[in-house]
Structure 1
Amino acid sequence: MIQLQLNKRDFEYDIYSLIKSFYPGKDVTVVYGEEDGTDAELKISVFYEENQITISVFEDGALVLTDSVSVCYEENRKETKNALKRLAYEMLRNLTGTELPWGDLTGIRPTKIPMALLEQGWKNADIAAYMRDTYFTSREKTALAVMIANRERHILKDLNYENGYSLYVGIPFCPSICLYCSFSSSPLKVWKNRVDDYLDALCREIDAASETFAGRELNTVYIGGGTPTTLEPYQMDRLLTKLEERFDYSHLREFTVEAGRPDSITRDKLQVLLDHGITRISINPQTMNQATLDLIGRRHTVEQTVSAFCLAREMGFDNINMDLIVGLPGEGKEQVEHTMKEIGKLDPDSVTVHSLALKRAARLSLFKDEYQDISFQNSSEIMDMTASYCERAGLYPYYLYRQK
């Protein structure tokens, strides 16, 4: 076990995330003040003073590393945080002998930094040097972040930043709850008789939101969840009609409905989406290995994924995304490669690759004692393989999630 000891709560998440990145799979507890954890094999103390932060590392009670950084604590909290993260990263790197590909960029989207610098007129080479020197990012990840930032900038250049906005609509129901899921979602079979009540409340919220955003340009709409296609066709029609009545679509660039689970997709539901001019849907297998689907509680088959995708194509959907998760229980390189090959046969228009991140509220975390025999594998090699398959399919990265 690792103990993080703080005399202030400031920047707790940033330091905690860095420690977890260097020690994946290790339990990290946070204590404050003089509280001590005698059973901790490694203790990392962060002591904040007015103009200085000191980090000390103890192994089995013995001091092995200590260092400080001068800061203007109250004047510039952002720079204070960055200085603290740089110090913590260098000390943890020295302690473990490990380099993190994304350096100390935990908790933020890596493209935010190059994007901001591009807006200031910086050249790509100068941005790359700054990221490597300031955040310790590897050459490969730095190049990726700069490339995607340029791509994002090209996509976003026609959007109205000051007066535009995007709308997210949440449908918190699923056919079943996946083992790894921590989202606020409920099984449809339990709440089926309350879905119309939920839509009543949602429609009132749509009324209020439309008044709040009156006079601004709606650029994109995303209906997510949960699984939005757990709604019956008449319910989806009601929702989409309400949105059309209350919002001006004249500046709309994209409307996505996350169809999600293939076992929730029917011809009638897809027809409702077409009738309302939906431009993009997402069909999310997460994996194309049946044994994994059974294990994680996704009660559908690989064949249902293929059938749902082919049905959507047949009906005229020409912008279909597919979500995949790397690091699912019991899966290694062989299983992930099988998934990539099967997805390649379907030829989706975009693919979103997630790394499994277990949150405390996930059933797999809450009942981890029941799943001790399950192995989890993820690596740079596996992630690089997914990128290679996507590139061969003519798909190129245009977005990066926050790095953990």
Structure 2
Amino acid sequence: MRMNGTSTKLVPAAGLGAWTGLLPESAENHGWRMRLMPALLIFALWTVVGLFQAVPDMLDGFRWTETIGKFIDAWAWALLTPAILLIDRKLTSRLQNVVRIAVAHLGLSIPFSLAHTYLTGLILYPMPDIWWSPLRSTEFAIYFYLGGWGTYAAIVGVLQTFKYYNRFMGSQVELARVEKNLVESHLNALRLQLEPHFLFNTLNAISSELAANPVLAREMIEDLAALLRQSLDCQGSREITLAQELALLDHYLAIQKLRFGERIDICVEVDPATHSAMVPSMFLQPLVENAIRHGLEGRMSGGKVVVSAAQVGAALHIAVIDDGVGLPRQWTIETCAGLGIGVTRERLQTLYPEPGDHDFRVARREGGGTEVAIRIPLHRMGAEARGVES
């Protein structure tokens, strides 16, 4: 084609793509590249081995014959390495026993050492300056054979080391997965201990109001249904956000406020910045229930329960405080803790097993009542929140 005195040559699309690189690479070329990568890697590794062999001889002066001889010795092994890898893979799949594999490789070391000796000799033979070629001297043939036998043993040793390391790492991953499943099962079992206990106490409270005040009992049942619905939504989660945990607690507190009326004052003082912090699911409810049942329920004047949460450094501090009757004189957490305290303590130990990761204390207050103080690691839901935290 000619335009305004200038000729323009039409180039096929394939040729244009080859020159400009603008067209996508064909699947066939990509396949060839993937096949060449292992070969290039093997060649590069043996080149490095040849370099390490040649460097000591270079210290007293560079001689090209000695240097090229070391590289050719290594490159001969590069040519044999694919066959060694293939045979080792077949032996591993068939024998499945380290002793049998070792015996098989011991037998194979003879032909492979001979093959390396003759292959190296053939490559070196056209170079008359390299007089130590195994095809020129019987003594050097024995030297090359023994050196090749040691190299073959080293190759097999490295292969077995990598294989057993991979198996070990695979078994560690599988072990971690099994341990995680066991922890999940243990946490679910602990939670299942709490739920029947909580349901029995709540239903018992509702039944006591059913005859005297059916409207109040109906409202308590509605709050219980909402609490159970949200609890089922979180059942598969080891941890939920503090906001979700407070939403669950709100339904339980609504039941208690309907039941006790003005006798009990419940105050929730939580820093909004901690709402995205992850906490064990349904762990506040048994602590508040303990404060009400054992601290305030028996008092005609009732009392107050305060639930607080705040960030302190890299930890989340949570407290449940009441001004009730307090703990008995001989009370200890090891011997006298009820189901709610005991299960909560065990859940924290399971979720945060590292020393110093958490703290759980139950203590008497100076002015009367009980304080439950919890410290757990502060981590938030989502990568963005974790970035803010760090």
- Tell me the TM-score range normalised by the shorter chain: under 0.3
Which has a greater percent of helix?
Answer: 2
Bigger RCO of structures 1 and 2 (CA < 8 A, at least 6 apart)? 1
TM-score (normalizing by structure 1): 0.21
